[in-house]
Amino acid sequence: MKIEIQNLTKNYGGFRAVDHLSFSFRSGTLTAIVGRNGSGKTTTIRSLLGLIPMDEGKILVNGVPGPLNLKRVGYLAEERGMFPKETVESQLIFLAQLKGMSSRDAARSLDRWLERFGIFQYKKSPLESLSKGNQQKIQMLASLLHDPDIIIFDEPFSGLDPVNMQLVIELLRELCAEGRCILVSSHQLPLIEQVCEDICIIDRSRCAYWGSLKELKVEKGGSLVRFTVSDPVPAALNAQETAPGRYQVQLGTAETPDFSAFLQKLLDTGLSPDTLERSGKSLQEIFLELVGEEEAIQ
C-alpha cells in the first residue's frame, strides 16, 4: 500500500499553514514527518485524515485519488484524549467497535495488546487511576486494537520515559516488519533516526527535504571526527566548551582525509583526548542546518 500526498496546501485565513507539500509513505517502510513547532505537521496529518478540508492538493491511495478508509487507519492524535472516568476495557472496546470490529473480536484483541504492553492488570480500572505513562500506552493501544493497515502517530514519544520510548521504537519496527503503512510525526529526532527510513522535513509550511534518510545523511551528513579533551585547545581548532572544563573539537572530512594521519597529528599536539569518535552528522544537526538554510533564504 502506498499513500501519496500531492501539493497539499492549507490556509487559515491569511496564514498558509501548509504550502504545496508532497510526500508519500508505503507499507513496510517507516516514514517520518518532522519540523519545528507550527511548521504544519499536524495540519498535514489532519488534512490527510479529512479532519480539515484541504485548499489544494490531493491524496492518492495506491495511485487512486480518494480519501483514506478511516476504518483501516490507526491514529494517535497529538492532542491526547480518552474517557478518564471509563474503564480501560469499556472505552477501548467502544473505540474498536467504531472502527468496525465486533465486540467479541475487540475483546480478544484487547487482551492480546494489554498483555503485549504489560498492563493487563488495569483492564477493569478507570483510565484516570492509571499513571500518565500507562495512560499514554492505552491511547496508543486504542489506535492499534483494530489491526489497522495504515498507522499515523503524531508525537508518539511525547510524555514517555526512556523505557517506554524504547518499547514504542520496538513496536514501530515490529509493525513495519508486518507490512503496515506507517507515518510518524515527532520532534524527537534522535529517536526518529533510529527507526525511520524515509523522512519529510517541513520548514515554515514547505517541504525542505523529502526522501530516504540514508541518502540525506550521505548527502548532508559528511564524515566527522569528534574528540573531547579536558585541557584548553589551540584556538585554531574552534573547540566548543560542552561542559565546564570540557572541550569538544569537531573536524569535517576535508580536514581528515586520512584518519591515521589525523590521529598522529593529534598526539603530536600533546593533547590527550578523553573520547574520540568518527561519524556523520546526526539527523538533528542536518535538520538544524536545513532549517537554518531555509531561514537564511527567507
Partner 1 sequence: MKKTFSFRDFSTVFMHYLKKETRSRVYLIVTVLLCSLSLASCFILNAFFGEKEKKPLYIIDRTALFSDAFQNAELSGDFFEGVSLDFTADQSLPDEKLSQMVRDEEGGPFAVFSQEADGIKLTIIDSGTLSSADTQAFLTLSQSVYLQYNIEAAGISPETYQNASRQLIFEEVDPSQQSGNFWTAYILYMLMVIAIVMYSVSAGNEVAYLKTNKVMEVVTTSIRPLPFYLGVTLSIGLSGLIQLAAIVLCSALSFRLAGTDLSVLGDMGITLSSMTAGQVTAYLLLFIGGFLLFSFVNTAVASIVNRTDDVASTLVPLEMLAMVQFFISLFALDSDSFFTAFCSFLPITSPSVMFVRYMMGFAGTSQLIISILLLYASALAMAVIGSRFFSRGVVHYGTIREFSLKGREHS
Residues that bind partner 1 (CB under 8 A): 10, 12-13, 15, 17, 38, 40, 42-43, 46, 49-53, 67, 69-71, 73, 75, 77, 79-84, 86, 90, 94-95, 97-99, 142-143
Angle subtended by helix axes 162-177 and 132-142, to nearest 10: 10
Sheet holding 56-61, edge to edge: 15-26, 2-12, 56-61, 64-65
Judged by CB, which is closer to partner 1: 84, or 118? 84
* Residue whose CB is less far from partner 1, 49 or 251: 49
CA angle 279, 159, 46 (to 5 degrees): 90
Q: How far is the CB of 56 from partner 1 (least distance, A)?
A: 14
Q: How far is the CB of 71 from partner 1 (least distance, A)?
A: 7
* Three-class secondary structure of residue 247 per DSSP: strand
Q: Which is nearer to partner 1, 79 or 268 (CB)?
A: 79
> Least distance (Å) from partner 1 to the CB of residue 76?
8
* Per-position DSSP letters for 29-55, written without gaps between them: -EEEEEESTTSSHHHHHHHHTTSS--S
Beta-carbon neighbour count of residue 288 at 10 Å? 13
Cα 100 to the center of its chain, rounded Å: 28
- CB of 75 vs partner 1, minimal distance in Å: 5
* Comparison of 96 and 167: residue with beta carbon closer to partner 1: 96
Least spacing, CB of residue 3 vs partner 1, in Å: 15
CB-wise, 69 or 275, nearer to partner 1? 69
